[in-house]
């Protein structure tokens, strides 16, 4: 064994000192048999075992290499074991550890054994039954988180909530989550949340740690507070491999704090995603309808309709003009035929008169009058027939023109009315969406304004001026340094005492 005197007044390197310590430990601490409890068991990917061996007052690092672990059953936290081995130093870190050659199981560690016994007792009493489980709201109005404000677990949960449910109101209910008195503060936080109905959903959480670190979440006070809570409770304690009795009593168990935040915000997150999809579909539908209506409107342009109507009228006028011309030609033809027939009649009569003049001279006047009447009647009937045909054609054409104008005007009015109704429908939907988002924005602004006023009030209450106004004073030395201890002052030293309305100069006696 070396002595410290051997190195007196001699400069040595860190490596030399570590090698001497390593030699001393390995030479004097071998063939050891050490009893303790396994904690923080970490098997490596290549087969080595790393863990901590501890009792109620101390702990030491230990390692068992893969050549010896092959014939061993795996360890777990809480196992009570007796290891055989020697003490060695790991030079790169300057730490010492037990190199285990063999391990004998003594039994479960006291802590783990107690937890298992209590778990069985609570399960038998029915504390884990589903009949006590309350429904977890998918869309809570306000979420409460019971944890230490300084933990990384809280920051992880808040980041998840900010990403998935930015509009959700969150209240932090501070509690100590480790060590003596932690269980009492956790239970008190749950009771306060229920007494004042601070939220409608509650998360109790902390980050990972050893079995001892998580014990407050298995305490009777905490478990009873969860069981009688009117507010649904989500337990998110430790890492995925960790557990506490609160996981079984709570209404819902989450493997990690971040997972607890995801479960609490799942409904809001799904609603936001559905709203995004619905908004996209509505916008796409409105754009499609506007495009369709615009296309129809362009297709039935007013100028084009007027041009179409004028074209139709011109067509009917052209037909009317042609009909009048046809009627005139027909009348002329009929009159000409009647004239020819009249001439033929007259010729025949003249010939018959010449032939029978002597025999029927006394009838000449009567026959002549009869022929004249017959001719006049034929002409009159022909004119009346032509006039009736002309009136019927004109009336038919005017009626057709009126009917076509009425149909065209009705179709045009219907298209205009349909277009106006579609525009009104789109404007109504746009106004509804505008009012909905305006309402949400106003609510969010009012919430932030209330938080800002509350924070401002708290800051003012903590300011030095507010403290002075309540009757307290601040003592400073001549350099303006605040005196917080009597050890900072000396005899005859000049001090200044600040009060709310000025400063008092004093001298120390």
State the residue for tokens 């076509």: 404
Place of tokens 């501890």: 54
Same domain, 408 and 499: no
Q: For residue 413, give its domain range.
A: 300-452
Average pLDDT of span 348-364: 60
SS3 state of residue 360 = coil
* 460 vs 464: CA distance, rounded Å: 9
Determine the Cα–Cα distance for residues 18 and 95; give it in Å rounded to an integer.
Answer: 10
Which of the residue ranges 103-107, 137-141, 159-163, 298-302 has the most confident prediction, judged by mean pLDDT? Answer: 159-163
Co-location of 33 and 79 in the same domain: yes
d(CA 242, CA 211): 8
* Domain match, 68 and 138 both: no
> Residue 402: pLDDT band by 50, 70, 90 thresholds?
low
Cβ neighbors of 297 (< 8 A, separation 6 or more) are 419
Type and span of the H or E element at 74 = none
pLDDT number for residue 198: 94
Rg of the chain over all Cα atoms, to the nearest angstrom: 55
Integer Cα distance of 329 and 323 in angstroms: 10
User: For the chain, how many structural domains are there in total?
Assistant: 4
Both 319 and 399 in one domain: the answer is yes
CA neighbor of 409 nearest in space, from 298, 303, 309, 317: 309
pLDDT band, very low/low/confident/very high, at 250 (cuts 50, 70, 90): very high
Residue at which a domain ends, from 108, 128, 157: 108
The top-scoring range by mean pLDDT among 62-71, 189-198, 406-415 is 189-198
- Both 144 and 260 in one domain: the answer is yes
- pLDDT for the residue numbered 357: 56
Residues 83 and 32: their CA atoms lie apart, in Å, by: 8
| pLDDT at position 298 over 70 | no
Here the CATH number for the domain that contains residue 196 is 3.40.50.261
- The answer to whether residues 15 and 76 belong to one domain is yes
pLDDT score, position 393:
58
- pLDDT of residue 465 exceeding 90: no
What is the pLDDT confidence band of residue 370, given thresholds at 50, 70 and 90? low
Q: Token pair 């030609």 is at which residue?
A: 329
**pLDDT higher than 80, residue 145:** yes
Answer with the residue of higher pLDDT: 471 or 205. Answer: 205
pLDDT of residue 205: 95
Residue 67 lies in a domain: yes
Does one domain contain both 344 and 422?
yes
Mean pLDDT of the chain: 80
* pLDDT of the residue at 221: 95
Q: Do 243 and 341 have their domain in common?
A: no
Q: What is the pLDDT of residue 241?
A: 77
Do residue 409 and residue 488 come from a single domain?
Answer: no
Is residue 146 in a domain? Answer: yes
Same domain, 40 and 70: yes
pLDDT at 25 over 90: no
**Closest C-alpha among 201, 200, 194 to residue 236:** 201
Q: Token digits for 50?
A: 């790393």
Whole-model pTM: value is: 0.43
Are 499 and 405 in the same domain? no
> pLDDT band for position 6 (50/70/90)?
low
Residue 273 lies in a domain: no
Predicted local confidence at residue 166, as pLDDT: 93
> Looking at the structure, do residues 346 and 247 belong to the same domain, yes or no?
no
Q: Tell me the two tokens of residue 205.
A: 């959480």
Does the residue 176 lie in any domain? yes
CB 199 within 8 A of CB 168: no
* Most confidently modeled range among 13-22, 167-176, 292-301, 305-314: 167-176
Cβ(265)–Cβ(165) below 8 Å: yes
Per-residue pLDDT reduced to its tens digit, 330-353: 666 666 776 676 666 666 656 765
């Amino acid at each position: 064994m070396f002595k410290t005197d051997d190195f007196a007044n001699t400069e040595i390197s860190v490596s030399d000192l570590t090698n001497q310590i390593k030699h001393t430990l390995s030479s004097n601490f071998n063939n050891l048999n050490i009893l303790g409890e396994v904690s923080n068991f970490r098997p490596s990917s290549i087969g080595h075992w790393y863990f901590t061996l501890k009792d109620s007052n101390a702990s030491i690092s230990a390692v068992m290499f893969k050549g010896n672990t092959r014939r061993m059953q795996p360890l777990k936290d809480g196992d009570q074991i007796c290891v055989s081995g020697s003490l060695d130093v790991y030079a790169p870190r300057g730490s010492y550890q037990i190199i285990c050659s063999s391990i004998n199981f003594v039994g479960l560690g006291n802590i783990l054994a107690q937890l298992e016994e209590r778990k069985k007792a609570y399960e038998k009493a029915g504390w884990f039954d589903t009949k006590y489980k309350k429904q977890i709201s998918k869309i809570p109005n306000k979420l409460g988180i019971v944890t230490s404000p300084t933990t990384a677990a809280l920051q992880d949960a808040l980041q998840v909530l900010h990403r998935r449910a930015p509009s959700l109101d969150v209240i932090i209910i501070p509690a100590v989550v480790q060590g003596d008195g932690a269980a009492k503060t956790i239970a008190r936080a749950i009771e306060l949340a229920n007494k004042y109905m601070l939220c409608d959903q509650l998360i109790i959480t902390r980050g990972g740690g050893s079995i001892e670190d998580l014990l407050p979440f298995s305490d009777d006070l905490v478990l009873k507070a969860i069981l009688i809570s009117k507010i649904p409770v989500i337990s998110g304690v430790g890492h995925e491999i960790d557990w506490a009795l609160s996981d079984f009593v709570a209404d819902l168990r989450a493997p990690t704090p971040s997972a607890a935040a995801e479960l609490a915000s799942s409904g809001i997150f799904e609603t936001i995603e559905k709203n995004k999809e619905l908004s996209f579909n509505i916008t796409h539908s409105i754009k499609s309808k506007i495009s369709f209506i615009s296309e129809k409107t362009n297709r039935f342009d007013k100028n084009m309709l007027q041009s179409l109507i004028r074209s139709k009228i011109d067509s009917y006028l052209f037909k009317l003009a042609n009909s009048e011309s046809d009627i005139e030609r027909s009348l002329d033809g009929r009159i000409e035929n009647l004239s020819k027939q009249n001439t033929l009649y007259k010729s025949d009569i003249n010939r018959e008169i010449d032939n029978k003049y002597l025999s029927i001279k006394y009838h000449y006047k009567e026959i002549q009058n009869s022929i004249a009447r017959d001719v006049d009647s034929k002409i009159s009937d022909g004119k009346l027939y032509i006039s009736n045909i002309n009136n019927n054609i004109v009336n038919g054409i005017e009626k057709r023109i009126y009917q076509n104008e009425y149909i065209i005007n009705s179709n045009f009015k219907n298209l205009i009315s349909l277009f106006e109704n579609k525009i009104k429908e789109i404007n109504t939907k746009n106004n509804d969406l505008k009012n909905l988002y305006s309402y949400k924005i106003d609510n969010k602004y009012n919430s932030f304004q209330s938080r800002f006023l509350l924070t401002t009030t708290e800051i003012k209450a903590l300011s030095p001026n507010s403290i002075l106004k309540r009757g307290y004073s601040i003592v400073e030395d001549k350099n303006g340094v605040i005196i917080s201890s009597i050890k900072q002052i000396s005899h005859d030293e000049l001090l200044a005492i600040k009060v709310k309305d000025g400063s008092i100069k004093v001298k120390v006696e």
